[in-house]
Amino acid sequence: MNNWKDNITFVLVEPAESGNIGASARAMKNMGFSGLSLVNPAPVTDEARWMAHNALDVIRAATVHPTLADAVGEQSIVVGATRRKGRRRGIIHNVDEGAKKIVELASANRVAILFGREDRGLYNEEIEECGFLISIPANAEHPSLNLSQAVLIMAYELSRAEYRLEEKGIGVSRLVSHEELTTLYSRISDTLKLLEYFPVGDGDLEKKMMMNLKHFIGRAGLAEWEMNMLHGICTRIERKLRGEH
């Protein structure tokens, strides 16, 4: 349990305000976190360094990525922070419930928490990469939080949830990476096409089913043996369809 915080990465997707990068780094360090990734960010300026205060080490150690796929490829679980709700967005936990789940998973696995753009949040295609989502309850008349505020609340709730995991003594399996899951999703989609599961021309059904599958698997991830089992099922189906034994 000593290193679970090292397994969590806060991912800021296209932050437009340099000051928000610095303030987010400070919020993370306040709560004992250091893993920061930036996806196509604004340049880090003196404002960011000033807002970071004594958290310049977090900014210096941050990884910068051109795309979200690059940022989360080695993570086992991807979680998104959002204020928008809807059936297409899958399961959404309140921040306190989601924090407990993240701490439990992070005891043995790498977890990425995504925070979207200051003005538009996460796009739908980015939401689809998340196993589950977290929402911070706020005033319905003014629900949008500043980026660094959202980071601070998330980091605080994670720290507060730690003792509950210690009380339960839960053991968590090591899970495969997001990149390996992406390969598996592609394999399952190809196998279903071979089975003619999707009606010809019905791209919406295929997209919806694969999105639901991502949410279903991504909520808790997969152990390596589970992933290998699903690949094995796909292989057996492909051989059967080819008439192989």
Mean per-residue pLDDT, 176-188: 92
Find, among 119, 137, 115, 122, the residue nearest to 88 by Cα: 122
Mean per-residue pLDDT, 187-209: 84
pLDDT score, position 201: 72
| Angle of the 95-106 helix axis to the 147-168 helix axis, nearest 10 | 60
pTM: 0.84
Burial 118-137 (b: 16+ CB within 10 A, else e): beebbeeebbbbbbbbbbbe
Architecture of domain 4-168: 3-Layer(aba) Sandwich (3.40)
Average pLDDT across the chain, whole number? 88
End-to-end alpha-carbon separation of the chain, Å? Answer: 47
Q: Do domains 4-168 and 178-241 have the same CATH topology?
A: no
CATH topology of domain 178-241: Helicase, Ruva Protein; domain 3 (1.10.8)
Domain range summary for the chain, segments of one domain joined by +: 4-168, 178-241
Q: What is the pLDDT of residues 37-93, one digit of tens each?
A: 999 999 999 999 999 999 999 999 999 999 999 999 999 999 999 887 655 556 789
